[in-house]
Amino acid sequence: MSREQRGPNDKLGAVLALAGISNAGLARRVNDLGAQRGLTLRYDKTSVARWVSKGMVPQGAAPHLIAAAIGQKLGRPVPLHEIGLADADPAPEVGLAFPRDVGAAVRSATDLYRLDLAGRRGGGGIWQSLAGSFAVSAYATPASRWLITPADSSVERTLDSVGDTDSSTSAGEAPLKVGHSDVRKLREAAQDARRWDSKYGGGDWRSSMVPECLRVEAAPLLLGSYTDEVGRALFGATSELTRLAGWMAFDTGQQEAAQRYYIQALRLARAAADVPLGGYVLATMSLQATYRGFGDEGVDLAQAALERNRGLATARTMSFFRLVEARAHARAGDAVAAGAALKAAEGWLERARDGDADPPWLGFYSYDRFAADAAECYRDLKAPRQVRRFTEQALSRPTEEFVRSHGLRLVVSAVAELESGNLDAACAQGLRAVEVAGRISSARTTEYVRDLLHRLEPHGDEPRVMELRERARPLLMTPA
């Protein structure tokens, strides 16, 4: 459905010309972005012509998808007013705030949890309007406020402080009194979710229960009453779950939702007074920014995590932060800085001991993971020999516990073989990667495979490449 504007939308036409996108090209991009969000859209070049020449305004998520599609081509966020669609229904600001006050922080997080997350898959509800373009600038205020104050002074919430005006409880219903047993349940849920996510991908139905857990289980507890001690633990457990929800959204291509969850996870980590956890959330933000092509901003976020955790985090944790920094430097094209960060990450890892008090959320990190990310650094720096060396180490011990990671490593290995001139080995690794990717639900893994096929296009007539492309076809046709 669309509604009429007055006259042609010259702004949209001008930006399309600037981006070099045809009417058919924009329609295809919008439909593809909608499919990634579970929406079935059937726009074509005629639809776009109506938007431009007649000023028709598409409804629902479409204006935000248009902005996202053009922004991807231009390499920057595109606001609705720039394309003449400012009067479209605005995307809600829910989840983007980083309040200074703890009470406001609770409201900000629980508002996000209460969104109709069923719309994430079915295309309905409030979730549709979260389909705006990812904006790395949204991380600036949360990161700076966390750096200035990484821990709130007190989070105690008594029955008196909850008050009668709290809209979280029904009339006559007393707020929950939270204890350590409630927190343990959330931590167990986080542990289970981490395991399912690593093994089956962020789109697996078991992983997708995390937003529901936040809405049904965590939100009432945050809005209950608790001592400062219990509250710190509650905020920490909820921060872990919120970061996981963001990570799963990231893995399934929901970049905008991931960004909102990450911001709230960082704010909750501050309420928990858990500086390493806050650093971990910042490192995750850094990985997202780097993945989206914002290497410099990724460096800033990783270094923020590092600076605040000196003397606080364990050696293994510091190693991971330096590794994330290396990823960002490599994406930014700074080989010297990336090499230095990798060397520091390896040094910290060598200092780690089994008896260290590493946080449970770091259980995935070992030398295998270090080698895998080092390989990706050298892939970005176009150093295939180094990629092969680290990828061989990363693949030396495949495990059923981290299936998605194994699939990603196989694709990186295939790219390294291709750049080294070993087409047979590249296709062999690619076939293995496609087999793994078919067992999980991960848009990120699919994108890695898509990138490999793009790199293989000059060899498109080779039977081995044709076989790989045919094997990958079902994977690439399945919406995230």
pLDDT of residue 55 exceeding 50, the answer is yes
pLDDT: which is higher, 381 or 71: 381
Looking at every residue in the chain, the average pLDDT score rounds to: 87
**pLDDT digit string, tens, across residues 7-45:** 899 999 999 999 999 999 999 999 888 776 556 788 999
Q: DSSP for 392-411?
A: HHHTSS--STTHHHHHHHHH
Question: From CA 350, how far away is CA 346, in angstroms rounded?
Answer: 6
pLDDT of residue 118 exceeding 50, the answer is no
**pLDDT digit string, tens, across residues 178-190:** 999 999 999 999 9
Asked whether the beta carbons of 207 and 200 are under 8 A apart, the reply is yes
Asked whether the beta carbons of 66 and 13 are under 8 A apart, the reply is no
Question: From CA 213, how far away is CA 225, in angstroms rounded?
Answer: 19
Residues forming a β-bridge with 57: 3
Residue 5 is predicted with a pLDDT of: 53
Q: Which residue has the tokens 């329609």?
A: 27
**pLDDT digit string, tens, across residues 196-212:** 887 777 666 555 689 98
Residue ranges and CATH numbers for the domains of the chain are 2-83 (1.10.260), 93-118+135-167+176-273 (no CATH), 366-480 (1.25.40)
Asked whether the beta carbons of 426 and 414 are under 8 A apart, the reply is yes
Alpha-carbon dihedral angle through residues 32, 94, 233, 323, given to the nearest 10 degrees: 40
Residue 37 is predicted with a pLDDT of: 57
Q: How many CA within 13 A on the CB side of residue 374?
A: 26
Residue 399 is predicted with a pLDDT of: 66
Residue 478 is predicted with a pLDDT of: 61
Percent of the chain with pLDDT over 70: 87
Question: From CA 140, how far away is CA 38, in angstroms rounded?
Answer: 30
